[in-house]
Amino acid sequence: MTKVTSNRRGVQVEDTKICVVMVGLPARGKSYIAQKAQRYLQWLSIEARTFNVGNYRRNDAPQPNAEFFAANNPDGERMRKAAAEAAVADMMGWFRTGGVIGILDATNSTKTRRRWVEDILTREGIETLYVESKCDDEDLIMANIRDVKTTSPDYRGQDPEKAAQDFRNRIRNYEKVYQSVDADGDEGDLTYLKLMDVGKQVIINRIKDYLQSRVVYYLMNLHIRPRSVWLSRHGESTYNLDGRIGGDSLLSPRGEMYAKKLPELVAKSVGDGRPLTVWTSTLRRTIATARHLPATYNQLQWKALDELDSGVCDGYTYQGIKDKYPEDFAARDEDKYNYRYRGGESYRDVVIRLEPIIMELERSEDILIVTHQAVLRCIYAYFMKKDQAKSPWMNVPLHTLIKLTPRAYGTDEERFEANIPAVSTWRGKGSTAKHEDPIPDVLR
Ligand code: ATP
Ligand code: F6P
């Protein structure tokens, strides 16, 4: 049974354990989907881990050719089964030590293999969610092969063109035995999500609970069209100058200069002049920062992008907080991610309220977000897989535009500095300095 509770750490789903079993022919984006799901869940502090059967298989067969994957190759068959067994055994061990969502990343392309996995999971009370990626677009598949397969450890040191041909033959061997989930109508009891042509069409069957539906909804929103996300803090504010937190202050004269420079900085980083959609918070300093951007850019204000609510400490300097609430000041330094201001929020709370923003970002193309220090840290942590305990300490300088470009297995980052001086609002552990220079190991 699933129990959903809300406590000071936010919403938690207890008791449910799910194995997401990926299904599909090679080069259909299964590993891509698995790593995105893992990153999203870990960002939400849900214990999630991917078990990639290919990595286990490489122990015995590091560089197999297409023949290894032929259905009539008994040695290949044996080694592939052994790799699946080792991955599943490790995953079950991980579930026993508190894992919540395990992702079994393999082709799982036959009914027999799926029943075998299902039986093991059911015996241990773990729910199974099959996620199948189907795609017959030959150009996209060849692009996927060239993009990620020819550089895989399976083909290290080999000619990329020969590697691509061999990989195409490997797929042909899988095609001979591949059975799409419930294609014959005898797997209707399974819980599954089928993504056809990168989510153009979606089939959902027997989703059981809240956690499953969250994973399904997230995966339905993914796309692979090229795009970037731009992140900027607002220009320097009068509160920043005073070393005060929170509030709804306006921009300092240097903050105004940044607002005027932002359109040029954006144009330089976009390159081809395509229009962006701009999201700001509802606070005056972000709206003022975005106000000189071209009128052709759609602008939207999100309450969810407002700065972390510092409750009774709003408007205080860090020294003021230490004087008035010394225990709170120490508690925040002790566990900055979980510390919730009296009457306000923690970083963990901010992550939870940002979930709709992340969903919308996944669905969208080019977006520029003008927001605040804490919120930007949380969004950055999602894209760059930053440890939640460390992300609240990250330095995010004012007057700097960050461009993030998602790639197949990671995110590229570029920074564009406006070269307009601003105070540093970064604060090291224990410090109450009004403005402090960050130490080198937290520059990112
Ligand atoms: P294998 O079975 O060899 O491990 P795979 O199915 O795990 O293959 P990936 O390694 O994830 O394939 O392939 C990554 C490529 O797939 C990326 O280039 C990515 O853009 C693309 N991709 C992501 N999602 C999809 C999708 N739903 N359909 C087709 N391609 C996708
Ligand atoms: O100082 C600027 C600011 O955006 C404050 O409004 C906010 O409380 C603070 O940064 C968040 O940063 P930290 O979590 O490091 O205190």
Residues with CB under 6 A from ligand 2: 240, 245-246, 307-308, 310, 372-374, 392, 425, 427
Confidence of residue 14 (pLDDT cuts 50, 70, 90): low
What is the structure's pLDDT at 11?
47
Confidence of residue 443 (pLDDT cuts 50, 70, 90): low
Query: Is it the case that residue 272 has pLDDT exceeding 80?
Result: no
CA nearest ligand 2 atom 12, residue: 374
Query: Is it the case that residue 12 has pLDDT exceeding 80?
Result: no
Q: In terms of Cα–Cα distance, which of 418, 20, 411 is closest to 233?
A: 418
Q: Nearest ligand to the C-alpha of residue 372?
A: 2
CA 146 / ligand 1 centre spacing (Å): 11
Q: What is the pLDDT of residues 58-72, one digit of tens each?
A: 999 999 999 999 999
Confidence of residue 339 (pLDDT cuts 50, 70, 90): very high
Show Cβ contacts of residue 4 under 8 Å, excluding neighbours closer than 6 positions. 11, 12, 13, 14, 210
Sheet holding 201-205, edge to edge: 48-52, 101-105, 18-23, 127-134, 192-196, 201-205
Task: Decide which of 356 and 442 is more confident.
Answer: 356
**What predicted TM-score, i.e. pTM, was given to this entire model?**
0.94
Task: List the single range of 6-10, 38-42, 292-296, 337-341 with lowest mean pLDDT.
Answer: 6-10
Type of residue numbered 418: A
Question: Can you tell me the mean pLDDT for 299-314?
Answer: 98
CA 174 / ligand 2 centre spacing (Å): 53
Question: Can you tell me the mean pLDDT for 21-31?
Answer: 98
Percent of the chain having pLDDT more than 90?
94
Active site residue 166: no
Q: What is the pLDDT of residues 146-178, one digit of tens each?
A: 999 999 999 999 999 999 999 999 999 999 999
Ligand 1 atom closest to residue 198's alpha carbon, by position in its atom list: 27
Query: Which residues is 5 bridged to in the sheet?
Result: 12
Question: Can you tell me the mean pLDDT for 263-270?
Answer: 95
Q: Which of 307, 309, 345, 349 is catalytic?
A: 307
CA 388 / ligand 1 centre spacing (Å): 27
Query: Is it the case that residue 208 has pLDDT exceeding 80?
Result: yes
Question: Can you tell me the mean pLDDT for 272-297?
Answer: 95
Active site residue 234: yes
Whether 440 and 272 have beta carbons less than 8 Å apart is answered as no
What is the structure's pLDDT at 67?
97
Q: What is the pLDDT of residues 80-112, one digit of tens each?
A: 999 999 999 999 999 999 999 999 999 999 999
Q: Which helix (H) or strand (E) holds 410?
A: strand 410-417
Three-state DSSP state, 227? coil
Query: Is it the case that residue 1 has pLDDT exceeding 50?
Result: no
Ligand 1 atom closest to residue 133's alpha carbon, by position in its atom list: 27
CA 252 / ligand 2 centre spacing (Å): 17
Ligand 1 atom closest to residue 167's alpha carbon, by position in its atom list: 3
Ligand 2 atom closest to residue 247's alpha carbon, by position in its atom list: 6
Question: Can you tell me the mean pLDDT for 324-333?
Answer: 98
Q: In terms of Cα–Cα distance, which of 354, 345, 331, 212 is closest to 281?
A: 354
Active site residue 105: yes
Full DSSP string of 320-378: HHHHH-HHHHHHHHH-TTT---TTS--HHHHHHHHHHHHHHHHH-SSEEEEE-HHHHHH
What is the structure's pLDDT at 13?
53
For the chain, give the mean pLDDT: 95
Residues in the chain: 444
What is the structure's pLDDT at 392?
98
CA nearest ligand 2 atom 8, residue: 245
Q: Nearest ligand to the C-alpha of residue 281?
A: 2
**Residues 385, 382: Cα–Cα separation, whole Å:** 5
Ligand 2 atom closest to residue 244's alpha carbon, by position in its atom list: 1
* ipTM of this predicted structure: 0.88
Q: Nearest ligand to the C-alpha of residue 427?
A: 2
Query: Is it the case that residue 187 has pLDDT exceeding 50?
Result: yes
CA 372 / ligand 2 centre spacing (Å): 8
Confidence of residue 7 (pLDDT cuts 50, 70, 90): very low
Show Cβ contacts of residue 138 under 8 Å, excluding neighbours closer than 6 positions. none
**Residues 118, 288: Cα–Cα separation, whole Å:** 55
Question: Can you tell me the mean pLDDT for 227-254?
Answer: 98
Q: Which of 127, 234, 236, 372 is catalytic?
A: 234
Query: Is it the case that residue 4 has pLDDT exceeding 90?
Result: no
CA 136 / ligand 1 centre spacing (Å): 12
Percent of the chain having pLDDT more than 70?
96
Question: Can you tell me the mean pLDDT for 334-339?
Answer: 98
Q: Nearest ligand to the C-alpha of residue 27?
A: 1
Pocket test for ligand 1, best of 224, 225, 409, 411 (most atoms within 8 A of CB): 224
